[in-house]
Amino acid sequence: MVSKESCRNEIRAAIRQLSDRCLYSAAKWAGEQLVGIEQDPSNFTPSNTRFQRGSSSIRRRFSTISTPQPSAGFSQPPATPLPQEEDEVIDGDLYLLAKSYFDCREYRRASHVLRDQMSNKSLFLRCYALYLAGEKRKEEEMIELEGPLGKSDAINRELVSLERELSALKRTGAIDSFGLYLYGVVLKEKGNESLARASLVESVNSYPWNWSAWSELQSLCTSIEILNSLNLNSHWMKEFFLGSAYQELRMHGESLAKYEYLQGIFSFSNYIQAQTAKAQYSLREFDQVEIMFEDLLRNDPYRVEDMDLYSNVLYAKEACAALSFLAHKVFLTDKYRPESCCIVGNYYSLKGQHEKAVMYFRRALKLNKKYLSAWTLMGHEYVEMKNTSAAVDAYRRAVDVNPCDYRAWYGLGQAYEMMGMPFYALHYFRKSIFFLPNDSRLWIAMAKCYQSEQLHMLEEAIKCYKRAVNCGDTEGIALNQLAKLHQKLGRNEEAAFYFEKDLERMDAEGLEGPNMFEALVFLATHLKTNKKFDEAEVYCTRLLDYSGPEKEKAKSLLRGIRMAQTDFPSMDMEHFPL
Amino acid sequence: MAGLTRTAGAFAVTPHKISVCILLQLYAPSAQMSLPFPFSSISQHNRLGLYLLSLTKSCDDIFEPKLEDLINQLREVGEDMDAWLTDHLTNRFSSLTSPDDLLNFFNDMRGILGSLDSGAAQDDQIILDPNSNLGMFVRRCILAFNLLSFEGVCHLFTSIEVYCREAHSSSAQYDESNDNLESLIQHDQMDMEKYIMDKATEEIELQKNASGRVPFHLHTPEALFKVTEGLLVTRKEKSRTNTKKAEATQLACASSSTVDDTLVDESLFLRTNYQIQGFLMEQADAIETHGSSLSSSSIESFLQKLQNLAPELHRVHFLRYLNKLHSDDYFAALENLLRYFDYSAGTEGFDLVLPSTGCSMYGRYEIALLCLGMMHFRFGHPNLALEVLTEAVRVSQQHSNDTCLAYTLAAMSNLLSEMGIASTTSVLGSSYSPVTSTASLLSVQQRVYILLKESLRRADTLKLRRLVASNHLAMAKFELMHVQRPLLSFGPKASVRHKTCPVSVCKEIRLGAHLLSDFSAESSTMTIDGSLSSVWLKDLQKPWGQPVFSQESGSRKSSTFFQFCDHLVSIPGSVSQIIGASYLLRATSWELYGSAPMARMNTLVYAALFGDSSSSSDAELAYLKLIQHLALYKGYKDAFAALKIAEEKFLTVSKSKILLLKLQLLHEHALHRGNLKLAQRMCNELGGLASTTMGVDMELKVEASLREARTLLAAKQYSQAANVAHSLFCTCHKFNLQIEKASVLLLLAEIHKKSGNAVLGLPYALASISFCQSFNLDLLKASATLTLAELWLGLGSNHAKRALDLLHGAFPMILGHGGLELRARAYIFEANCYLSDPSFSVSTDSDTVLDSLRQASEELQALEYHELAAEAFYLMAMVYDKVGQLEEREEAATLFKMHITALENPQDEEPNMA
């Protein structure tokens, strides 16, 4: 098994190596995991536990699920040895200068300083600096060359030379795992995905602690087949990778299991908590997610990452005050993050100020053009503003960013339905259902489309509602509609069956309302005509509990039943005139 | 979303424009410059001027020539001073070493412009009038440069470096590339014949025309003209360039095709929106024109690049849709169609044409529905298509888009008439359409009629000429196939003429073709000097490279002049397409009415005049008709030879009918030669071509089972043949295929005749005749009469007289218009009649019989119809025997024997085509 101590040692060394190579975000990630490891009570110092205070609250609350022992899974790999840093006394000085240039974001200068250095570390830093310089120039060019028809495809001009150099190094074998990572990134940028994957796999197999490499690899795993085909050494970092990859592939159960397992070691990791919350959010467990995020914010009050998700939860729960508090806090932390803009947009949307919401979503999109949820949310706002063509445009962009986004497909369908094009909308609903086949809301939307006045394809609507029922219709629309449709088509038996089921559901949830009256009235009448007077009477008496016209109806029905019951013989007698 | 705003930077300075400026400096050197005046004669100077004029005109085009191309052109223009010109050009470029040089260069450019007021220039200085074309160009360049930010200047500078570097790297291969150019152009010319459009162009055109008054096809909408004078060239010209590119793409290896290369090179300076839109329209045309002969992947990769360059240009998605449509990729086509309309709400590309009318804030989703409906139609989903079109009708009514409504109705009627739909109630069922709702009790035919009328009315009021024309043609088709019946025929008073009306068919066809006269009035606005100048440029590139303007080449000049004229009176492609279609329809109707020469003539007219510019499937149809004609009237040898030619042409077209024709011919041939196994196989393959969906490919299905019945008949399996024919008749009845019914009835009569059951055959023959009468199918009627006569004779020799009378009645038609087989049959039958007539004596009147038999045998030998030929020779031998001409008898007998053995041992050597 992997002991917490060995994990800790590995990470400590890794953070140093990563920051030596200026891979800051990977170092940051590793640092988060480092303090996420549960401390041994033996070397307990107050400073060590500072980060962990309060973290256990969530665990206390949700400790029903038995945590698997961390010993269970990690079949100890032939432990990847931590690479020893080569002693770089000779080029050490230049390296130090270059690193400080790099830290001041003077990338070209940094790479120039290292131009003749041959050690692996210097080599990597030089290439990496060059790459970043190219990226920076690319961003600038994109703005400079922006034409009337959108951005020109400015490219990172360093890619070609970098690829040439790195591939030569790779051929001679003089490349370390960081170089492989950079090579993978370059290849990915050039569109050579399979080679990029191979290079990244090689990189993470030889140096698993570089989270940036894992996340690049994850973005290249667009299907489960690709994911399964990767030949990865087992290491605890792989579990992190799999967790996030599963999540991206909408396999939330598997992903949750991975995180559950990792929590055995990294019990206080904010990252794991946020990822778990994300998965739970996709499973629509809003209450749980809210608690998790509250907890997260308590430990890490200046966190912006993933907070847009939290705002979505608050939006869904219509918690205005909490949302405004969150927005304020995040805005004070960093207002030029797409997440912050998105949160503010959500806030305005909840307040019904859709123009302002759109403005903030736009800002979020300006900061990150591929920010999926902002496109979708903006589409929702446009729908609210009845600007359907703008909504359609926004949704379509979301779909083109990520074709698996069922919300955007659904939004497209909705928009077209609003425009009175139900048949056209059906295609989009079908798409959205394809990506999320067991969501009753989508089925109901599609059924409504079929049911619409223009199409009037009731049989298809019935099929959809049936699927909705099978998916566990939470809003209880499907059963009622099924019953009504069958009633309309004159299939009283089926109608009665679904009314009864609906009634059961309402009883179980303790609901009342017009649907209930309707069901009761229909059942009573139906049973009466079928001469099941006893059962009919039960329903009638239930109706009597309520006031209004239904009561009168029940009374008359009851009278009819009594008459029928008592007059039955007399009616027979009519045939025998006295 | 913001893709349609025209920015100030619409006219961007590019390296090519700088080249032109450098040349302009040479043409009109400013007073300060110390350049020697290099021109040896005034005419040389003028030639350069003209060349520059055409360059400035064409520099709004989307593809700018590379430096290398420019140098090549200079070589041709400059004659003996070309070296000097190119040297100067390259030197000037290499002297631009820093952004500051650029600044100075444009400052110098000011010098060559004369000021507006100063008349006091030196005498020998050539001054550009600032308001002249060249002067305007220079001013625009200077202005555009002055508007550039420093970043822009830097970008210009780098792109100049790239521009020059390319020229250097490729100048070494100059000679080779010159050769390539020649071969390219030759290819281009050969390929001109191949210009073909797909059947779906009609639909696509409809879709495009759906935008409104200004048709798409004439892709020279006035609005565009004003903006980019030189950009748009007439259609023919464009397609020339397009093929050239296409050819080039095919020549070059797929990945690094020329189009792509050019485009990538241009990536540094994106064109203006209008240019790109215009360019995309051309591309759309090219996709239509070439059908699938254009490799779809090369278009795809080029579109991908374009999309990378201009992500906000949504028309790319539409092009991709068209491309996928032509390569029969349903899912990708659907996806791209939806994407296009999602992004642009159906307005991009359309409101370019109609800027004034604007669109409602709801977008133009009805056009999306229309397109989707047509797409489903093309992919053979009639029910889906009908649902979508119904929705399109509803939405366009809702948004009161009458134009779209007219097109939708036309599309709907087209759908209903093409697809075999037994009854609309099952399809339209619940979904209502205001047009069809009143007529829910009407038959499909009546519905088609109403839809057509409605569409025609709307199109008329909206002045959509093309739609009017194509509606007239559709109406003609309808009239051709359907007996006119009053829509509500109640009571005895309703006058019912159970006959089709050829006059009204003719009228409709003529109305359809009227379009041409309308357009010739309009076309004067379409000539622009932009097209002229690019023609000029094209001429320069001709391989022989003769000086176009030199005095001595009179002949050349005249041909150029002719070309100019050709371009001047060019008719928009869609118009010529519709007119071509009217000729084809004429041919079809003559075919049905039974006049072979007229049908052939009209087809030939079509093939000669419209073959180049029309859709591939129409051209294919024309070839089909001609080959069928050959087979019927000249025998198989010629037909197969012609088929071979056609095959090379059309096999790449998607949904090619050539394969179908080949199977038909092979089947026929096998049947005649008595090779029944082969016939059966061909027949089965034919049936396999049809889609399995109900109501789709009805024509093909009917054809296949008709042939099956005939094969069975030839194999003497009468009851089975009768069964097949019966079920076929039922299908025809169900789907209202009246004309096919007539031939099925005739076939049934034949079956009964062959099975020796003449009495049973008679009613079928009579029914067939009456069908033929009401649909005016004269030739079929003649052949039915022949069968009827044969049946009479089959009843006994005492009916010979009656049979002969019937035959003689039909003779003029048969001999005038019938095919080889029919004529031979008639001749043999005539002989038979005479021989079986007891009052006829062979010895006295042998020549009457022998003449017709000789005729028959000749025709049958051309046809390789062994069975009948044997019969003819047998009869001949008998007659000779009676007359006592023994030598001739022996000859006929050996021929008889030859045919019989041939019939009995059908060599399995398949005809070379198989």
Write the pLDDT tens digit of every residue in B328-342.
Answer: 788 888 888 888 888
Q: Within an 8 Å CB–CB cutoff, is residue B340 touching chain A?
A: no
- Same domain flag for A330 and A391: no
Of B647-661, B829-843, B850-864, B883-897, the range with the lowest mean pLDDT is: B647-661
Of A27-36, A191-200, B793-802, the range with the lowest mean pLDDT is: B793-802
pLDDT of residue B242: 36
Q: Within an 8 Å CB–CB cutoff, is residue B843 touching chain A?
A: no
Q: Where are chain B's structural domains?
A: 15-115+126-169, 819-913
| Chain B residues within an 8 Å CB radius of A400 | 339
More confident call, B101 vs B537: B101
pLDDT of residue A187: 92
Closest CA–CA distance from residue A456 to any residue of chain B (Å): 6
pLDDT of residue B677: 85
Provide the 3-class DSSP secondary structure of residue B313: coil
CB pair distance less than 8 Å for A389 and B362: yes
The answer to whether residue A60 sits within a structural domain is: no
Of A39-48, A117-126, B13-22, the range with the lowest mean pLDDT is: A39-48
Residue type, A48: N
Of the candidates B326, B313, B321, B213, the one whose C-alpha atom is nearest the C-alpha of residue B271 is B313
- Same domain flag for A359 and A394: no
The answer to whether residue A95 sits within a structural domain is: yes
Q: How confident is the model at residue A311 (pLDDT cuts 50, 70, 90)?
A: very high
pLDDT surpassing 60 at residue A183? yes
Distance (Å, rounded) from C-alpha A463 to C-alpha A542?
31
Average pLDDT of the residues of chain A: 82
Q: How confident is the model at residue B675 (pLDDT cuts 50, 70, 90)?
A: confident
Q: How confident is the model at residue A346 (pLDDT cuts 50, 70, 90)?
A: very high
The answer to whether residue A567 sits within a structural domain is: no
CB pair distance less than 8 Å for B311 and A396: no
- For residues A428-464, one letter each, b for 16 or more C-beta atoms within 10 angstroms of the residue's C-beta and e for the rest, the string is bbebbbebbeebbbbbbbbbbbbbbebbebbebbbeb
pLDDT of residue A361: 92
Write the pLDDT tens digit of every residue in B413-457.
Answer: 888 877 766 554 444 433 444 444 444 456 677 778 888 888 888
- Same domain flag for A315 and A415: no
- Same domain flag for A290 and A402: no
pLDDT of residue B186: 38
Q: Within an 8 Å CB–CB cutoff, is residue B389 touching chain A?
A: no
Write the pLDDT tens digit of every residue in B726-748.
Answer: 999 988 888 778 788 888 999 99
- Same domain flag for A15 and A128: yes
Measure Cα distances from A445 to A414, A418, A460, B343 in Å: 8, 12, 12, 23
| ipTM for the whole predicted complex goes beyond 0.90 | no
Distance (Å, rounded) from C-alpha B395 to C-alpha A124?
61
Mutate which: A144, A387, A405, A423, vs B, most B CBs within 10 A: A423
Q: Within an 8 Å CB–CB cutoff, is residue B3 touching chain A?
A: yes
Write the pLDDT tens digit of every residue in A482-538.
Answer: 888 888 888 888 888 888 888 888 888 877 777 777 888 888 888 888 888 888 888
pLDDT of residue B829: 87
Provide the 3-class DSSP secondary structure of residue A147: strand
The answer to whether residue A14 sits within a structural domain is: yes
pLDDT of residue B612: 66
Domain's final residue, options A176, A200, A220: A220
Closest CA–CA distance from residue B425 to any residue of chain A (Å): 14
Closest CA–CA distance from residue A396 to any residue of chain B (Å): 6
Distance (Å, rounded) from C-alpha B165 to C-alpha B163?
6
Mean pLDDT over B687-706 rounds to 80
Across the interface, of A387, A400, A424, the residue whose CB is closest to B391 is: A424
More confident call, A527 vs B570: A527
The crossing angle, in degrees rounded to 10, of helices B174-192 and B235-251 is 120
- Same domain flag for A321 and A421: no
Among A267-281, A514-528, B249-263, B297-311, name the most confident range: A267-281
Domain's final residue, options A350, A367, A384: A367
The answer to whether residue A465 sits within a structural domain is: no
| Chain A residues within an 8 Å CB radius of B151 | 144
- Same domain flag for A99 and A114: yes
pLDDT surpassing 80 at residue B545? no
Distance (Å, rounded) from C-alpha B240 to C-alpha B234?
10
- Same domain flag for A10 and A100: yes
Give the number of C-alpha atoms closer than 13 A to the C-alpha of residue A188, restricted to the C-beta side: 21
Report the Cα–Cα distance between both ends of chain A, in Å, rounded: 98
pLDDT of residue B291: 57
Q: How confident is the model at residue B368 (pLDDT cuts 50, 70, 90)?
A: confident
Mean pLDDT over B152-161 rounds to 84
pLDDT of residue B119: 52
Distance (Å, rounded) from C-alpha B210 to C-alpha B350?
9
Q: How confident is the model at residue B573 (pLDDT cuts 50, 70, 90)?
A: low
- Same domain flag for A347 and A407: no
Q: B204 CB contacts (<8 Å, ≥6 apart)?
A: B288, B322, B325, B374
pLDDT surpassing 70 at residue A568? no
Could you tell me if A375 and A365 are in contact, meaning their C-beta atoms sit under 8 angstroms apart? yes
Helix (H) or strand (E) holding B125: none
Q: How confident is the model at residue B348 (pLDDT cuts 50, 70, 90)?
A: low
Max CA-CA distance within chain A? 129
Q: What is the pTM of this model?
A: 0.72
- Same domain flag for A169 and A23: yes
Across the interface, of A389, A396, A421, the residue whose CB is closest to B369 is: A421
pLDDT surpassing 90 at residue B311? no
Dihedral of the alpha carbons of B129, B135, B140, B145, in degrees to the nearest 10:
-100
Q: Which residue has the tokens 């209502």?
A: B432
Distance (Å, rounded) from C-alpha A150 to C-alpha B2?
8
Q: How confident is the model at residue A342 (pLDDT cuts 50, 70, 90)?
A: very high
| Chain B residues within an 8 Å CB radius of A423 | 369, 387-388, 390-391
pLDDT of residue B548: 34
pLDDT of residue A56: 45
pLDDT of residue B413: 83
Give the number of C-alpha atoms closer than 13 A to the C-alpha of residue A100, restricted to the C-beta side: 5
Q: How many domains does chain A have?
A: 3
Of the candidates B776, B781, B875, B777, the one whose C-alpha atom is nearest the C-alpha of residue B824 is B875
Q: B490 CB contacts (<8 Å, ≥6 apart)?
A: none
Measure Cα distances from A364 to A302, A369, A386, A397, A411 in Å: 19, 8, 22, 14, 20
Average pLDDT of the residues of chain B: 70
pLDDT surpassing 90 at residue B775? no
Mean pLDDT over A108-132 rounds to 88
Write the pLDDT tens digit of every residue in B31-47.
Answer: 655 556 666 677 777 77
Residue type, A399: V
Q: Within an 8 Å CB–CB cutoff, is residue A409 touching chain B?
A: no
pLDDT surpassing 90 at residue A131? yes
The answer to whether residue A334 sits within a structural domain is: yes
Q: B345 CB contacts (<8 Å, ≥6 apart)?
A: A389, A392, A393, B359, B362, B363, B364, B365
- Bridge partners (DSSP) of residue A546 are none
Mean pLDDT over A440-459 rounds to 85
| Chain B residues within an 8 Å CB radius of A427 | 334, 338
Q: Within an 8 Å CB–CB cutoff, is residue B7 touching chain A?
A: yes
Output the CA angle B102-B104-B105, nearest 5 degrees.
60
More confident call, B79 vs B805: B805
Mutate which: B340, B342, B433, vs A, most A CBs within 10 A: B342
pLDDT surpassing 50 at residue B198? no
- Same domain flag for A353 and A379: no
Distance (Å, rounded) from C-alpha A42 to C-alpha A144?
59
Closest residue in A to B150 (Cα–Cα):
A144
Helix-strand-coil split of chain B, %, nearest 5: 70, 0, 25
pLDDT surpassing 60 at residue B179? no
pLDDT surpassing 90 at residue B474? no
CATH number at residue A357: 1.25.40.10
pLDDT of residue B875: 87
Q: Which domain covers residue A355, as residue numbers?
A: 284-367
pLDDT surpassing 80 at residue A331? yes
Of the candidates B722, B776, B767, B773, the one whose C-alpha atom is nearest the C-alpha of residue B746 is B767
For residue A284, is it left (φ>0), alpha (ψ between -120 and 50) or beta? Answer: left
Q: How confident is the model at residue A360 (pLDDT cuts 50, 70, 90)?
A: very high
- Same domain flag for A186 and A171: yes
Domain's final residue, options A367, A399, A416: A367
pLDDT of residue A213: 92
pLDDT of residue A89: 53
Measure Cα distances from B294 to A162, B297, B329, B645 in Å: 37, 9, 15, 20
Looking at chain B, the whole-number percentage of residues with pLDDT higher than 70 is 65
Provide the 3-class DSSP secondary structure of residue B778: helix
Q: Within an 8 Å CB–CB cutoff, is residue A389 touching chain B?
A: yes
pLDDT of residue A3: 77
pLDDT of residue A441: 85
Mean pLDDT over B803-811 rounds to 87
Dihedral of the alpha carbons of B862, B749, B897, B892, in degrees to the nearest 10:
-70
pLDDT surpassing 70 at residue B529? no
Residues within 8 A of A (CB atoms), B 159-188 only = none
